[in-house]
Amino acid sequence: MLALGQAPAHGRQNRCNLTVLVPAYNEGNSLADTIRSLQTQTLLPEEIVVIDDFSTDDTGDVARALGVTVIRPPANTGSKAGAQNFALGGITTEYTMAIDADTTLAPNAIEKLSPAFEDPNVAAACGFVLPRYVKTLWERGRYIEYMLAFTWYKPIQDYYQKPMISSGCFSMYRTRILKEHGGWQTRTLAEDMDLTWSLHAEAHGVRFIPEAVSYPIEPHDYGFLSKQLKRWSHGFMQNVKLHWVNLLGLPYLGSFVAVALCDAIVASLAYLVAIPLLALVLWTPWPLLAYILDAPIILVPVMLKAVERKEKWQALVSVPCFLVLRLVNSYFVLAAFFQEFVLRKSFLRYEKGH
DSSP per-residue codes, 3-25: GGG-PPPTTS--EEEEEEEEEES
| pLDDT value for 1 | 33
| pLDDT value for 13 | 67
Is residue 84 over pLDDT 60? yes
| pLDDT value for 9 | 45
CA distances from 6 to 17, 45, 95, 117, 173 (A): 6, 10, 12, 13, 16
Residue 305: pLDDT band (50, 70, 90) is: very high
Distance from C-alpha of 9 to C-alpha of 1, rounded to nearest angstrom: 14
Residue 298: other Cβ atoms inside 10 A: 19
Q: In 86-184, which ranges are E strands? A: 95-99, 103-105, 122-129, 170-174
Three-class DSSP category at 124? strand
Distance from C-alpha of 199 to C-alpha of 24, rounded to nearest angstrom: 25
Q: Specify the range with the lowest mean pLDDT, choosing from 7-21, 66-80, 92-106, 129-143.
A: 7-21
Is residue 137 over pLDDT 50? yes
Is residue 8 over pLDDT 50? no
Q: Specify the range with the lowest mean pLDDT, choosing from 31-45, 118-132, 308-322, 338-352.
A: 338-352
Is residue 6 over pLDDT 70? no
Three-class DSSP category at 45? strand
| pLDDT value for 10 | 41
Q: What is the pTM of this model?
A: 0.94
Helix axes of 222-248 and 253-269: crossing angle, nearest 10 degrees: 140
Check residue 147 and report its DSSP letter: H
| pLDDT value for 269 | 96
- In the chain, what is the greatest distance between 2 CA atoms, to the nearest angstrom? 76
Closest CA to 118 of 207, 23, 239: 207
Distance from C-alpha of 294 to C-alpha of 35, rounded to nearest angstrom: 40
Q: Which helix (H) or strand (E) holds 182?
A: none
Q: Specify the range with the lowest mean pLDDT, choosing from 36-45, 118-127, 176-185, 289-298.
A: 289-298
Distance from C-alpha of 303 to C-alpha of 311, rounded to nearest angstrom: 8
| pLDDT value for 350 | 84
Q: Once rounded to an integer, what is the mean pLDDT over residues 332-338?
A: 97
Is residue 194 over pLDDT 70? yes
Three-class DSSP category at 69? strand
Average pLDDT of every residue of the chain: 94
Label the pairing between strands 103-105 and 205-216. antiparallel
Percentage of residues in the chain having pLDDT higher than 90: 92
| pLDDT value for 74 | 96
Instruction: Pick the more confident residue, 278 or 354.
Output: 278
| pLDDT value for 140 | 98
Closest CA to 94 of 161, 173, 211: 173
Separation of CA 80 from chain center:
12
Q: Once rounded to an integer, what is the mean pLDDT over residues 188-199?
A: 98
Is residue 200 over pLDDT 70? yes
| pLDDT value for 353 | 52
